[in-house]
Structure 1
Amino acid sequence: MSNTTTFNPIEAFRQERTDRIASYANKADLKEAAAVFNEVSNREQYSYNFSWMGRPIIQYPQDMIAMQELIWQIKPDLIIETGIAHGGSLIYYASLLELIGKGDVLGIDIDIRDHNRREIEAHPMFKRISMLQGSAVDQNLVDEVSKLAEGKETVMVCLDSNHTHAHVLRELELYASLVTVGSYMVVFDTIIEDMPVDFYDRPWNKGDNPKTAVWEFLKTNDNFEIDHSIDNKLLISVAPEGYLKRVR
């Protein structure tokens, strides 16, 4: 009997990619180049340049690809997103679920502006979207979201609303239990911590932002881990250390 292992080119390609991505963690020149682009592109509002199926999405293409990979892999029954803005992300996630053939998207925002609501409701992907207006950290609203998540086999959560430390930390605490094991809670705009002090004319800043909230959250919650393989793969992202996988 032969002990020769049959060569699998598909698995070989996957392993080569995995090894290459892991190697990026130690490539200082590559990481430095990405850091420069991250800072300059944030200054120039690069993320505002893109749309999905006609709606502004306000995301980096790299993060869009990462989300596509996760959604295809996980095939969630429900994606919960705090922060709606123009609705591009809702429509993007809904279109991926439409291709998969199952799943719904729930968007939450404290102020769903009328012109954005009209565009979202008129979109072909609205059939997989529902929206709730209110603060994402209001307990009554969270209770309503929890009821909508009941019985869902796989749930993913994306946090992209108010980016202050206190607000994001509270979101993490309130929505963590809704994320199913093996799925993700994605915290956007952790990049704020990597920008210079007073880079943004907003309530958040270096030392007070989604990444500091993630660090604080993980001190007392070992159900989640940062998926550093996504950080190594993307390099250019608004969510470094923000892809949190529920492992238990």
Structure 2
Amino acid sequence: MNEIDKFRAEVADNIRGLGEDTDVQALSRIWLREITRHKYAYNFSWMGRPLIQFPQDMAALQELVWAVKPDLIIEAGIAHGGSLIMHASFLAMLDYCDAVEQGVPLDVTKPKRRVLGLDIDIRAHNRAAIEAHPMSNRIDMVQGSSVSPEVIAQVHELAKGHERILVILDSNHTHEHVLAELEAYAPLVSPGSYCVVFDTLVEDMPDELIQNRPWKKGDNPKTAVWEYLRRLNGEGRSASDGAKLQFEIDKSIEHKLLITVGPDGYLKRV
């Protein structure tokens, strides 16, 4: 075994150990609960735009993008646009690496890879800031409910011709809404890629931390993930590409991060 493979094996062992260490996991849940009281996720930005994500999940997404190398990232939930810009910057790096490997000039005016953001309410000041950003030339936005037939049809049309698609769901966090998003967009995920469902941690948080929101324990993204996987296992449906649609929770990501808004939310299409 060469040195690179040795290191990878060591990391895999580390992650397995974290997954088996119930004390460390319990401490992480306590820490997560307490930082949530302080709106910890609001503290971070990407290239000047508020992100509203945990740094740990930002790192995980970077790893997924490099591994999958998607040519389209679909994200439901835009807010201030920081995550759209982050994903666009990841895709810009992929395009640059492709150009270097192929020995061709990089045409930044015609980006090959794109990001598609969906939101029921793209506020004017956020839209203006996103459109003024240097990464805006690879970002498309659709305003409307992510679960409306019109928006679903538009997204599926825009997704045509893309070979590798990664989906991120981070909008309305009720069970019904997230389940409808999974039904609509998970089939677009290419084999080996991911559908990432954020804020599944609502199921694990005290009810007192979730105030003035329509989601709560028993009615949130994690319960929607569980229901969606039950439906897939029971119905054995096929995706639009004709292959059997099958997802599994990638627990190794959760074990590696320990602090994440997406426990049970990193779904890999297998």
Equivalent of 1:48, from 42, 49, 66?
42
Structure 1 length as normaliser, TM-score?
A: 0.96
Could you tell me which runs of 5 or more consecutive residues in structure 1 were left unpaired when the two chains were aligned.
1-6
**AA aligned opposite 1:79:** I
Matched, 1:64 2:75: no
Query: CA contact under 8 A between 1:79 and 1:105: conserved in structure 2?
Result: yes
Match of 1:108 in 2: 118
Q: CA deviation at 1:99?
A: 0.6
Structure 2 length as normaliser, TM-score?
A: 0.88
Equivalent of 1:26, from 11, 20, 25?
20
How big is each residue's C-alpha offset from its partner over 1:135-171, in whole Å with a ceiling of 9 and x where there is no partner? 0001111111101111211001000000000000000
Q: Distance in 2 between matches of 1:77 and 1:28?
A: 38
Q: Secondary structure, in 3 states, of the residue corresponding to 2:87?
A: helix
How big is each residue's C-alpha offset from its partner over 1:83-107, in whole Å with a ceiling of 9 and x where there is no partner? 0000000000000100111410000
**AA aligned opposite 1:225:** E
Match of 1:147 in 2: 157
Equivalent of 2:231, from 220, 227, 230?
220
**AA aligned opposite 2:215:** W
Match of 2:78 in 1: 84
RMSD: 0.8
Q: CA deviation at 1:198?
A: 3.8
Query: CA contact under 8 A between 1:78 and 1:152: conserved in structure 2?
Result: yes
Q: Distance in 2 between matches of 1:159 and 1:112?
A: 16
Query: CA contact under 8 A between 1:198 and 1:205: conserved in structure 2?
Result: no
Query: CA contact under 8 A between 1:199 and 1:205: conserved in structure 2?
Result: no
Q: CA deviation at 1:197?
A: 2.1
Query: CA contact under 8 A between 1:84 and 1:107: conserved in structure 2?
Result: yes
Aligned length: 241
**AA aligned opposite 2:262:** A
Matched, 1:231 2:254: yes
State the identity as a percent.
59
